[in-house]
Amino acid sequence: MHRTTLVGGIALVAATLAIAPAHARSQQINGDAEILSVAQTVNLGEVTESKGALDRANSADVKSFAALMIRDHGKALRQIRQVAHEIGTSGQPSRLSHQLAMQERNETSQLDQNTGAAFDEAFMQHEADEHRQVLNIIDSQLIPNAQSDAVANLLQQMRATVAHHLQLAQQLLAQLGGGTGS
């Protein structure tokens, strides 16, 4: 893959992320059902994307990171289902969850244009950017609007995991010699 395409793809992802948080701030989250839908969308997207990275990554470290994402975000999906059952909801899609799902599809399409070491760098840049965005959404939209203790506790656990993933992604991106991990 040409460096120009990689830089262009990263620029598109960065532009999308620059717009998305502002757009996300304008989204009104109405209750625990919508919060759980957003959390489910984010975690499902991460699992799906990381499964693809397991097959496409060149670096053993990137493959290991992808496996960690599958494990941790898969666990989060199970916890979301459990909390939804406890509070008696099945989740309710929101504009934010739809926007995040569309953004994930677009970014995955951009990642698919890369191969080898270029894929590794683009994937890790994406992971750093995405985890940073999710932390922002958790802090600005989800935690402040949580209604039940069960949802608030789940979000606090998820926040800690996402922060840890961000740190790992930034470290791995720096090791790969690319991007703006911080």
Q: What is the pLDDT of residues 147-164, one digit of tens each?
A: 999 999 999 999 999 999
Using CA atoms, how far residue 181 sits from 31, 72, 89, 121, 149, in Å, is 33, 21, 37, 10, 33
Which pTM does this prediction carry?
0.79
Do 62 and 129 meet the contact criterion of CB atoms below 8 Å apart?
A: no
What is the model's pLDDT at position 106? 75
Residue-range domain boundaries for the chain: 3-176
Find the farthest-apart pair of alpha carbons in the chain and give their distance in angstroms, rounded.
Answer: 50
pLDDT at 93: 75
Residue carrying structure tokens 């991460």: 46
Number of CB atoms found within 10 A of residue 146's CB: 20
> Does domain 3-176 sit in CATH 3.40.50.300?
no
In percent, how much of the chain has pLDDT > 70? 81
For 93-151, write each residue's pLDDT tens digit.
778 777 877 777 777 767 777 788 999 999 999 999 999 999 999 999 999 999 999 99
Instruction: Collapse the DSSP code of 4 into the 3-class scheme (helix H, G, I; strand E, B; otherwise coil) and give the result.
Output: helix
Rounded CA-CA distance 3/180 in Å is 16
Instruction: Tell me what the pLDDT averaged over the chain comes to.
Output: 82
Per-residue confidence band for 27, with pLDDT thresholds at 50, 70 and 90: low
Tens of pLDDT, residues 46-62: 999 999 999 999 999 99
Q: Quote the CA–CA distance of 182 and 176 in Å, as a whole number.
A: 14
Dump pLDDT digits (tens) for 76-96: 999 999 999 999 987 677 787
